[in-house]
């Protein structure tokens, strides 16, 4: 697939994701608490997640018939393939169920192990963040870049609290304490996909979290890369999509962010 084909596929993907976003928004106040399932500790799912995922699978299959899927709700059999869509139909389900306006759809396309297309759709504000390999990152067709703030003390940090894996709580809160004291502030909104999109457009300067899944971050990873940001796992390596931990930041504050996180978690490994 050449660059022009990939660009066109990205735009078509944005359109299809937008239709599903409208479905999600329309269901915002309709979910009955009895219709909510608990998949695992503090991990919820509703018919909205599942229906949205089925819609996405159907639409994306038509765009790229030979592609396979890796999806959060497993409404289709997850399998490997040369091309593979990685989907989170509703990132921020708990926010959605509590009617907190911060949730998103995350769709990425992987080719031979590399993310080449990413779309994160902020449902409430109708913001479509998208990127394709070597094509830059965009928000509603306007090109975006990571923050140019150079000092950590002027930076706004995003994170996600541990909600089922508490093995890293001590180093996590050590890092959190550092950032609370040494930065402009820390935010925890509850959608990793949007946290990464907001790093890509400069709203956040850095982001760190553990206990992540590939469908949470795959699209956001490409957004950050194409917007000029840097990423790593907590060791400074490249296992940040499937390794369940991630740092993403502008290049100006990335090294200091990594230094703080790496030092704290190294003592607990």
Per-residue confidence at 164, pLDDT binned at 50, 70, 90? confident
- CA pair distance 180, 170, nearest whole angstrom: 15
- CA pair distance 65, 141, nearest whole angstrom: 26
Domain 3-144: CATH class, spelled out: alpha beta
- Tally of CB atoms within 10 A around 238: 10
Cα angle 16, 22, 26; round to 5 = 150
pLDDT at residue 33, as a whole number: 63
Domain 152-266 is of which CATH architecture? 3-Layer(aba) Sandwich (3.40)
Phi-psi region of 141 (alpha: psi -120 to 50; beta: other; left: phi over 0): left
User: Considering Cα of 72, then 115, then 106, then 82, what sign does the dihedral take?
Assistant: negative
pLDDT above 90: residue 39: no
Q: What is the mean pLDDT of residues 22-33?
A: 86
Q: Where are the domains of the chain?
A: 3-144, 152-266
Per-residue confidence at 41, pLDDT binned at 50, 70, 90? very low
What is the pTM (predicted TM-score) of this model? 0.94
pLDDT at residue 73, as a whole number: 87
Mean pLDDT of the chain: 93
Distance between terminal CA atoms of the chain?
41
Report the percentage of the chain scoring pLDDT > 90.
Answer: 81
- Tally of CB atoms within 10 A around 224: 27
Which residues have C-beta within 8 Å of that of residue 179, sequence separation ≥ 6?
Answer: 157, 159, 186, 260
- Which residue, chain included where needed, has tokens 């940040």? 240
- CA pair distance 91, 86, nearest whole angstrom: 13
């Amino acid at each position: 697939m050449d660059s022009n084909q990939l660009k066109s596929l990205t735009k078509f993907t944005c359109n299809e994701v937008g239709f599903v976003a409208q479905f999600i928004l329309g269901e915002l106040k309709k979910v009955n608490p009895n219709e909510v399932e608990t998949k695992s500790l503090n991990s919820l799912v509703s018919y909205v997640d599942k229906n949205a995922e089925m819609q996405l699978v159907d639409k994306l299959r038509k765009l790229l018939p030979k592609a396979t899927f890796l999806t959060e709700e497993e409404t289709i059999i997850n399998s490997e393939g040369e091309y593979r869509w990685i989907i989170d139909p509703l990132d921020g389900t708990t926010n959605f169920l509590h009617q907190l306006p911060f949730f998103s759809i995350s769709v990425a396309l992987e080719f031979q192990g590399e993310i080449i297309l990413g779309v994160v759709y902020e449902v409430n504000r109708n913001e479509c963040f998208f990127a394709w390999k070597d094509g830059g990152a965009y928000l509603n067709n306007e090109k975006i870049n990571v923050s140019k703030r150079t000092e950590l003390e002027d930076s706004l940090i995003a994170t996600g609290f541990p909600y089922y894996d508490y093995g890293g709580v001590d180093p996590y809160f050590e890092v959190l304490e550092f950032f609370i004291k040494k930065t402009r502030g820390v935010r925890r909104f509850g959608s990793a996909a949007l946290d990464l999109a907001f790093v890509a457009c400069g709203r956040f300067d850095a982001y760190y979290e553990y206990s992540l899944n590939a469908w949470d971050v795959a699209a956001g990873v490409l957004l950050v890369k194409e917007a000029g940001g840097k990423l790593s796992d907590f060791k400074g390596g490249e296992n940040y999509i499937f390794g369940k931990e991630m740092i993403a930041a502008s290049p100006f504050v990335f090294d200091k962010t990594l230094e703080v996180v790496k030092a704290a978690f190294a003592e607990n490994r």
